[in-house]
Structure 1
Amino acid sequence: MQVDAVVLNRRSLLGGVAAVAAALPLDARATSVPPGLNALASEKQMRIGSAFAWSRPGADAGSFANPAYARLLIRDCGLLVPENQLKWQATRPAPDRFDFTQFDAMLDWAEANRMAMRGHTLLWHKTQYFPRWLNDYDFGARPVREAERLLTMHIDTVCKRYGTRIGSYDVVNETVDEGSGGLRETSLSRAFGGTEAMLDRAFHTARAAAPHAQLVYNDYMSWEPGGEKHRDGVLRLLEGFRKRGVPVDALGVQSHIEPASDAPAGVLAARQEKPWRAFLDAVTGMGYQLLITEFDVADQHLPGDSATRRRQVADYAGVYLDVMFGYPQLRDVLFWGMCDKYSWLNGFKPRKDGARPSCTAYDDGFRPNPLRDMVADKLRKTTARR
């Protein structure tokens, strides 16, 4: 089948972006600015990064084409990941067509500013995040063969298009059901004859198409109470990968953390740390690396006073990072957005009092939050990776 790569006026989209890329680095690297987070991380052989988005130049968005947001990325990041623009919904409008226009522009900008890029994601295994055509797809008289063809085409197309420009992929995202700990089923996995067979094929295909790349299973299993079944399911999945010789290099720990109350961070952590360490010990004991792939802090259970709330967010995240940074298998830490103004939590977990969530490194005026200062402090104190 012929694959039609759609190009939507790429030249005009990149024209305005090039001007932004050329203008920003000098401004962001002024000598009066203290060391960025990635500069601190690099001293410990680590990297700090963030999700970001595509937009037209000058849009009020968490995009590289928004100069105010781009300055935050340039100041603090050495690694970027697309928030949505490499998912099936964005890149594959039909079974036989791909559209990489927006992601191409994002990757060009990242490279112009000497930042690495992660690929997120080659398969987000949740029905509600499949493109409509895939949920309704007729797999025909030989469904296994057709499902294999569709998945292999997708992974081959993405990985071979970008080659070594992308060094790490979330090959599969969120296939473990958080309620039961079992593997999710979708139209695609049913056509394969089972989710396990589909997952194995995804990773083997990615390894063949991108032999240089780090291959990651990414999920949001929480360190908070209530995540036990989810964690157990992820461990079973990772154990199965090892037994079957599936080429998975690392676990992506999303780290959308959430204090359940305004109790002191140490009190909250005391009942969470032991089972969380046991989980991480089991993962690393199987030889997996770790990444923090989507870091932020939901604050809807914290007080309305903004100064108090920001301090509590930083304190809670600090006890979490104390645990995570203790694992030498962790080298990459990515925020899921750098600025409160553009965080997905504004819509997904809004505060009942209507206040802007304080959940990222910078507030809605692009000023550093205590969370950013805390991360800088932890980076200074952590042990260098070898």
Structure 2
Amino acid sequence: MIKRRTLIVSSLGAAGAGVAIANHYLNRHQAPEQPQKRGIARFAVTGDTPLRERAADKGLIYGAAAQHQVLTTNVEFAQRFAQECAMLVPANELKWQALRPTPERFDFSRSDWMANFAQRHNMLLRGHTLVWHRALPKWFEETVDRTNAAKVLTEHINTVVQHYAGNIHSWDVVNEAIVPNKTKDGLRQTPWLRLLGVDYIEMAFRTAAAADPQALLVYNDNNLEYDNAKTAVKRTQVLKLLERLKSRGVPVHALGIQSHIGASPQGFNAKKLRDFLKEVASLDLKILITEMDVLEKNLLEANNRDAIIAGVYQDYLSLVLDEPAVNTVITWGLSDRYTWLTNFAPRQDGAPIRPLPLDAQLERKLAWNAIASAFDQAPPRQVK
């Protein structure tokens, strides 16, 4: 049996990090009876069954984020997306900036097309995001103040959620409200906090639940994975937020963990991460991996980087899928051709980045194998 190990925290400098990580991922997890196997052999999977079916076999959902412009202009990509994914997440089309050209008008044309695409291909639709401190329209700052903020927020949530009521799996109701800071609750200083105070989060969830009682309502956040002091503080503050919401009867149903994971020597502490997941689950909450990809910005050594990236996927997913409350895995994109990281976190050497399951030519690569393997080995869930 292959024994799982956590990533190792290292103090290596950036120049040597790539070699060290490559050795780590290429040489571990070897079965004693097959010591000759090295490198890509450990990512071997049986058959060519798509990720959506491998996940479904274990009671899991696999999906990815995509953009309207790409799905409508690249037929081959749209076909591959429908083949691999059981859930579609509009990457930008349901954010305020995209939906609200003016304070009085909503534009659902692009998101409606994506909803219809999901329905045609038997995919679930997921909403991202109702409340966030970013991606607000230009008119927001000039129009919204303390006198009308509650009305603007609740009207937006009511209009958007009711528009898709009965046709959406889940909503990221509030996104990234916590940031480790010197305040007791860790609430990020957002426009919503400034205008409405701490109750804006509860207001958002209650409004969304009234607009669509069937949708799964999610609190979504980042930087919850690694073993360091800042992450430890954030985990505690996120747990306190969820506990407070639950104690007040607020309809929050799940935690979304974004999981933009770095291909770097920093590591996961398996016990601490599992304990955190169990604490979330003990609140009667589901857990979704909502935006996974692997950042290689600081990975200077290009050799074997596909194996390094695949190793991150396999390590992380193997760990989190041990928790029964984790029922969904979403990658933030499907193909390297369309990853947001090209602009937001490019490699230092200028080489094209490869953070997703399919390469730029829409072919499966080692990251796909790693995800497939993690699904194949995951404990089965009870489908409800």
| TM beyond 0.5 | yes
Q: Is the contact made by 1:222 and 1:257 (CA closer than 8 Å) also made in structure 2?
A: no
Letter in 1 for 2:327: R
| Alignment match of 2:225 (pick from 193, 215, 223) | 223
Q: How does 1:284-299 map to 2 (within 5 A)?
A: 284-299=281-296
Q: Is the contact made by 1:119 and 1:170 (CA closer than 8 Å) also made in structure 2?
A: yes
Which 5+ residue runs of structure 2 have no aligned equivalent? 1-46
Question: Aligned pair count?
Answer: 332
Letter in 2 for 1:380: D
Letter in 1 for 2:117: W
Return the offset for 1:74: 1.5
Return the offset for 1:179: 4.9
How large is the RMSD of aligned CA atoms in angstroms?
1.7
- 2:103 equivalent to 1:95: yes
Q: Is the contact made by 2:144 and 2:152 (CA closer than 8 Å) also made in structure 1?
A: no
Q: Is the contact made by 2:235 and 2:276 (CA closer than 8 Å) also made in structure 1?
A: yes
Distance 1:207 1:138, change over 3 A: closer
Return the offset for 1:46: 1.1
Match of 1:18 in 2: none
Letter in 1 for 2:160: V
Q: How does 1:133-152 map to 2 (within 5 A)?
A: 133-139=139-145, 143=146, 146-152=148-154
Secondary structure of 1:367's partner? coil
**Identical positions, percent:** 36
Distance 1:185 1:318, change over 3 A: same
Q: Distance between the aligned counterparts of 1:218 and 1:375, measured in 2?
A: 22
| Alignment match of 2:254 (pick from 245, 250, 255) | 250
Secondary structure of 2:252's partner? coil
Q: Distance between the aligned counterparts of 1:232 and 1:258, measured in 2?
A: 22
Q: Distance between the aligned counterparts of 1:191 and 1:179, measured in 2?
A: 20
Return the offset for 1:34: 2.1
Q: Distance between the aligned counterparts of 1:73 and 1:41, measured in 2?
A: 15
- Asked which structure has the greater RCO (Cα within 8 Å, sep 6+), the reply is 2
Q: Distance between the aligned counterparts of 1:297 and 1:138, measured in 2?
A: 37
Q: How does 1:3-152 map to 2 (within 5 A)?
A: 34-55=48-69, 61=70, 63-124=71-132, 126=133, 128-139=134-145, 143=146, 146-152=148-154
Secondary structure of 2:131's partner? coil
Which 5+ residue runs of structure 1 have no aligned equivalent? 1-32, 56-60, 262-267
Distance 1:78 1:300, change over 3 A: same
Q: Distance between the aligned counterparts of 1:184 and 1:244, measured in 2?
A: 21
Q: Normalised by the size of structure 1, how large is the TM-score?
A: 0.82
Letter in 2 for 1:297: V
Q: Distance between the aligned counterparts of 1:138 and 1:277, measured in 2?
A: 41
With 371-380 and 274-283 compared, the bigger mean Cα shift is at 274-283
Q: Distance between the aligned counterparts of 1:356 and 1:179, measured in 2?
A: 35
Q: Is the contact made by 2:298 and 2:348 (CA closer than 8 Å) also made in structure 1?
A: no
Q: Distance between the aligned counterparts of 1:190 and 1:305, measured in 2?
A: 45
Secondary structure of 2:165's partner? helix
Match of 1:265 in 2: none
